[in-house]
């Protein structure tokens, strides 16, 4: 092949694109990966939103803020006394930025070791699987590919009545870069991003009000788990107002005046900073030229089949730009699947066993169907629950909030869903994901030996409780 010809060109270097590029190269294919991410300081980086302005920096701040909160409110229970507890926001932000830089630089190293050509700039798909690449200086060239993988990701939704100004009204990225704790913080949207970012700054001392237009809290989460989580968030001081639809936001010298409507009529709220976290949309700006053959659905997502093939021959699309949950790990698995399929290997993603996690405290994690979804299907089922308050490891950690809920089919005992609110739920859910990947039953979990004392025993006990056989909790008949 000539210098500008590749077996595979990937447009997008986030958690869907860069794994696709690496796996394709591991499969012996020549690969180029184009990514146009640009940081606030103008520097370029691979990793997309996830590594630069999403998953990684938010988890770094969540960890720091949780440690501060625990030191202030919990350490005394352990017999640890602290005097003059302080938070250094600059140091916290510096740590976060250092972690981001290490990981994004790591992608460059991975590209180099796997033989992937990393190109930083804008990629645009043209007809006949040609890709126009425009570098940071505005110079353009055309790459030819046998296969093209679209992994352009997503961007925050901007509301017309609350335009981002980068200072008073910010998106999720801006909310990660506050240089001081806002005294009054408003958050629009009580979803994953809104809860996580609201938690960060509330733990550090902000008075946080979250406005959610829907009447149901965390509608996508099992209702019992959502209710349990909401109870703990309220105890922590998060003011979550449901059925509150924002109608306007005006920036004034004193702050942001937010107008919203709820069951009581029109209300106003004054805050110093306003985070708008009402969702994300697929990023397809200037992504397609004429005659590509790629189609978009009514919501702007690239149309694909179950194996991420688009409507154009040998053009694929993965991650946030296609249907399904906007989760980094879902995109990663799609990218790897596509790279294997291109190489003539077996590739598959089990969309029924993709976990979701909300990294609040307590964490919320789930996989499979909610109880409402199972009930709606008409299938007979059974439920087992177990509280962390009855788990010895959780007590030793002073982390007893929450529970594990397991749902299994009545007929054949196959696991249908596992839902957790509690300590490190995001780690615990992996056992349930693996079990569901192998179509395990609740009995399989019952017969699996769990080390003692561990938090995983709560999953074991929930499985036992599904058959009224729990050892460490009362089995309700």
Residues with catalytic function = 452
How much of the chain is in helix, strand and coil states, percent to nearest 5? 35, 30, 40
Nearest residue to 428 via CA among 395, 408, 454: 454
User: What is the chain's alpha carbon radius of gyration, rounded to the nearest angstrom?
Assistant: 24
Beta strands across the sheet bearing 184-188: 169-170, 273-276, 184-188, 207-212, 239-242
| Three-class DSSP category at 232 | helix
Please, are residues 262 and 244 in contact by the beta-carbon 8 Å criterion? Answer: yes
Cα(128)–Cα(102) distance, rounded to whole angstroms? 37
SS3 270: strand
**Which ranges constitute the DSSP H helices of 74-122?**
89-114
CA distances to 115, 201, 406 from 183, in Å: 49, 9, 40
* CA count, 13 A, side-chain hemisphere, 287: 26
| Cα dihedral sign, 303-307-310-316 | positive
Spatial distance between the Cα atoms of 335 and 317, rounded to a whole number of angstroms: 8
> How crowded is residue 451: how many other Cβ atoms within 10 Å of its Cβ?
8
Nearest Cα neighbor of 51 from 108, 125, 8, 113 is 108
- For residue 217, give the DSSP letter: T
Evaluate whether 338 touches 149 at the Cβ level (below 8 Å): yes
Q: How many Cβ atoms from other residues are within 10 Å of residue 333's Cβ?
A: 22
Largest Cα span, the chain: 72
Measured in whole angstroms, how far is the alpha carbon of residue 44 from the centre of its chain? 23
């Amino acid at each position: 092949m000539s210098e500008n010809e590749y077996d595979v060109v990937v447009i997008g270097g986030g958690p869907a694109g860069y794994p696709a590029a690496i796996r394709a190269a591991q499969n012996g294919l020549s690969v180029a990966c184009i990514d146009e991410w640009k940081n606030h300081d103008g520097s370029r980086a691979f990793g997309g939103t996830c590594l630069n302005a999403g998953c990684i920096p938010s988890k770094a701040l969540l960890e720091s803020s949780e440690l501060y909160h625990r030191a202030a409110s919990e350490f005394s229970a352990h017999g640890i006394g602290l005097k003059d507890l302080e938070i250094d926001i600059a140091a916290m932000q510096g740590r976060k930025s250092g972690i981001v830089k290490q990981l994004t630089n790591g992608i460059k190293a991975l590209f180099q070791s796997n033989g992937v050509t990393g190109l930083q700039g804008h990629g645009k798909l043209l007809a006949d699987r040609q890709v126009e690449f425009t570098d940071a200086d505005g110079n353009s060239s055309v790459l030819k590919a046998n296969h093209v993988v679209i992994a352009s990701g997503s961007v925050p939704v901007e509301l017309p009545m609350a335009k981002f100004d980068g200072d008073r009204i910010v998106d999720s990225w801006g909310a990660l870069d506050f240089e001081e704790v806002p005294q009054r913080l408003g958050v629009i949207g009580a979803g994953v991003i809104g809860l996580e970012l609201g938690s960060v700054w509330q733990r550090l001392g902000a008075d946080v009000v979250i406005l959610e237009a829907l009447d149901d809290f965390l509608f996508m989460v099992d209702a019992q788990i959502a209710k349990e989580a909401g109870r703990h968030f309220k105890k922590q001081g998060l003011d979550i107002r449901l059925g509150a639809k924002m109608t306007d936001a005006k920036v004034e010298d004193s702050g942001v005046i937010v107008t919203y409507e709820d069951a009581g009529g029109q209300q106003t709220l004054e805050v110093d900073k306003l985070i708008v976290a009402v969702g994300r949309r697929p990023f397809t700006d200037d992504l397609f030229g004429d005659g590509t053959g790629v189609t978009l659905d009514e919501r702007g997502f690239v149309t694909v089949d179950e194996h991420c093939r688009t409507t154009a021959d040998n053009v694929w699309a993965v991650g946030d730009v296609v249907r399904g949950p906007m989760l980094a790990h879902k995109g990663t698995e799609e990218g790897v699947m596509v790279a294997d399929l291109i190489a003539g290997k077996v590739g598959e993603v089990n969309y029924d066993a993709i976990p979701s996690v909300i990294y609040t405290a307590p964490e919320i994690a789930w996989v499979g169907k909610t109880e409402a979804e199972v009930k709606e299907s008409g299938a007979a089922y059974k439920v087992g629950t177990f509280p962390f308050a009855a788990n010895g490891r959780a007590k030793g950690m002073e982390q007893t909030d929450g529970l594990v809920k397991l749902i299994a089919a009545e007929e054949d005992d196959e696991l249908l869903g596992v839902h957790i609110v509690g300590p490190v739920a995001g780690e615990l859910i992996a056992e349930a994901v693996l079990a569901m990947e192998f179509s395990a039953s609740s009995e399989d979990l019952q017969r699996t030996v769990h080390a003692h004392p561990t938090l995983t025993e709560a999953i074991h006990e929930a499985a036992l409780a599904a058959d009224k056989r729990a050892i460490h909790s009362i089995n309700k008949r």
